[in-house]
Amino acid sequence: MAYDISSKTGFVANLGKIYGAYAGVFLGFVVVLAILEQMGVPNAVIGYCFVFLTIGVYAYIGILSRTMELSEYYVAGRVVPAFYNGMATGADWMSAASFISMAGGLYLAGFANLGYVLGWTGGYVLVAVLLAPYLRKFGQFTVPDFLGTRYEGNGARVCGVVVLFAASFTYIVAQCYGIGIITSRFIGISFELAIFVGLAGILVCSMLGGMRAVTWTQVAQYIVLIVAYLVPVIWLSTKLYGIPIPELTYGMALEEIASLEQKLGILKPHAAPYVDAAGKFSWVEFNNFWALVLCLMVGTASLPHILMRYFTTPNVRQARESVGWSIFFIFLLYFTAPAYAAFAKLEVYSHVIGQPIAQLPIWVQNWSQVGGLLTIRDANNDGILQLAEFIINQDIIVLSMPEIAGLPYVISGLVAAGGLAAALSTADGLLLAIANALSHDIYYKMLDPKASTVRRLTVARGLLVAVALVAAAVAGTRPDGIIQMVAWAFSLAAAGLFAPLVLGIWWKRTTAAGAVAGMISGFSVCLFYLVMTRYFPETFQAWFGTNLWWGIRNISSALFGLPVAFAVTWTVSMVTTAPSKEMQDFVDSIRTPRGDVKWAIAGVRE
Amino acid sequence: MQEPTLSREKMDNYWRKTSRLMWTILALWFVASFGVHFFAVPLNGIKILGFPLGFYFAAQGSLIVFVVLCFWNAHAQNKIDEEFGVAED
């Protein structure tokens, strides 16, 4: 990559060549490591190579992308073509949870967890239709910036920053945690130290070049993560059924699973929708399924680190197309995840359960030696492994797939590099979303509007490092239930941000008072339900005479916050004075792709 | 940059058409996200290539619909923009 990343035209005009060459070099690198492994290079060295060389490449891109210009730092100079913004969004979106845990969740819960697959893809339709093109036309730097402009004043801006922080901070802590786990496993250092090695990897990508650096590393990270995800499962599909398309062949695995389930006497079939533990249809499961799908979708369309990616395309038209590419690149991983689950389940049911414990497959023996991920306990001392004696952690499914497929260690290293790419790219996106909101919306717009460019960039970078350090420190305490809290981020963002964003564009009558009241009430109801049902279940029971409203689990608490946000915004807007003519013209101007934005307040334009 | 000299009436027509596209896509989105899965239990009785159909829609079918909807929205909205002369140059 000898191109000068700082000359926009040279670099952007040659993106295809550059990333094509990069993908080729990456595959070559995997092949070389595979050959080295055959020549007897120890596994630890291969693990080192994957972790340090990939981080090294991201760091190199990050350093090449350093910038001292505001629009480069905040929105990558608005030169990112739709296709590449799609890839970057894919990496931004897919975190350690998608990469490592989702397939395992499907393994454990079957149909019920397809709610995640649906919820984490369908939200992009909402982004495409309701938000992305209009936010791009608005053309400023952050999501709270839009709220502050449309709802004239700092009230809406501050509410936006609070919701953004609540949703993004727990999410970034979880990413740091994932980075710590992967790094410590593959380079053999302590978890606490590994977090700070990973932190260096995050900062070097984002600190010098802001959004520009994050964008171009995310494209590189997407390529690594998708290759790493697809290779083992394609290999296994070919091995089992002779066809290298796992998405097609796992139907046969599902059929075999169904007959094995009957043989083993499993009550809850893998593919059965809306069933309880006894395998009976349950309305509670049914309601929780659609509630989860709704909350994850609306949450997707409200998370600022995703929405801000659409600020970076050259124009409105490309912002729309770029949502299509985003969901396409995400789809490639998500429609493969259920295949992972099915193949792993088939392997476990046919070669692990009911076998003599002394003769289990080699991958089971290897993983049961790693603390806590796979437990085998011969409870009835018959020497045969029963289903209840086999306890598997959901994170194991993707990580052990190379061994289940009988692949060399180099593929395990590849999977680790993929998981690391997923966690790093999401952490970078989140970090920028938080730090930019603090530096642009709080510092520049509210505290010091006369700050010079140099000063603004210095503050932005200082806040970036500060937020990253705090997130890493919190992750270092191994906070309990962090994965649960990530899922909360979706509900919090949905309840707090969706109504003011969508209504601000689609309903001119929305007033500033209405939006602020809607945000506060929607977010509060959601937060109340989350905190009460999670931490104070007895009090909740005493107040409402039930432990959950209509049996809806708190992961879907936006189901209650969302209608409140819309209802309150509407009611308060109707009783307050309609927005000014200037504000209505502003809304008209962001609805049409052509022409200038008509600012309702003078002097907001950068 | 030239000002879009859209009359009030033309702007309203443009927005009506855009809104109609929005509602159409959201209706299809609703069917793919929720409608079809309400029938997952009976659909699972049908099997294609080993896939119970209800499971298949949740694992792949709806996802394909989402991808198509996003690209179709971009295409259709571009056509509306061109029709009203508000597309970017």
Does some domain include residue B64? Answer: yes
Q: Is residue B11 part of a domain?
A: no
Domain count, chain B: 1
pLDDT score of B64 more than 60: yes
| B88 falls within a domain | no
3-state secondary structure of A373: coil
pLDDT > 90? residue A140: no
Is a pLDDT exceeding 90 seen at residue A110?
no
DSSP E strand stretches across A133-174: none
B39 inside domain? yes
Q: So what's the pLDDT on residue A4?
A: 46
User: CA of A124 to nearest chain B CA: how many angstroms apart?
Assistant: 8
Whether residues A114 and B25 touch (CB distance < 8 A) is answered with: no
Q: Domain-by-domain residue ranges, chain A?
A: 8-348+403-475
The beta-strand segments (E) located in B3-86 are: 47-48, 51-52
Q: How far apart are the two ends of chain A, measured CA to CA in Å? A: 33
How is residue A319 written in tokens?
């912002």
Is residue B45 in a domain?
yes
Residue B8 lies in a domain: no
Yes or no, beta carbons of A293 and B33 under 8 Å apart: yes
B70–A contact, CB cutoff 8 A: yes
Does any domain span residue B48? yes
Residue B14 and residue A592: Cβ atoms within 8 Å? yes
Q: Taking the domain A8-348+403-475, which CATH number applies?
A: 1.20.1730.10
pLDDT of residue A295: 94
Per-residue model confidence (pLDDT) at position A606: 46
Does residue B65 belong to any structural domain of this protein?
yes
Query: How far apart are alpha carbons A50 and A417 in whole angstroms?
Result: 6
- Please compute the mean of the pLDDT values over residues A512-529 and round it to a whole number: 94
Whole-complex ipTM: 0.94
Of A22-36, A193-207, A314-328, A560-574, which gets the smallest average pLDDT? A193-207
pTM of the model: 0.92
CB-based contacts of A603: which residues, under 8 Å, 6+ apart?
none
Interface test with A, best of B13, B66, B78, B80 (most A CBs within 10 A): B66
Separation CA A276–CA A152 (nearest Å):
49
CA dihedral angle for residue B49, residue A285, residue A270, residue B63, rounded to 10 degrees: 40
Q: What angle do CA A298, A300, A306 make, to 5 degrees?
A: 140
CB-nearest to A125 from B15, B70, B86 is B70
Summarize pLDDT for A44-60 with one digit per residue, the tens: 888 888 888 888 899 99
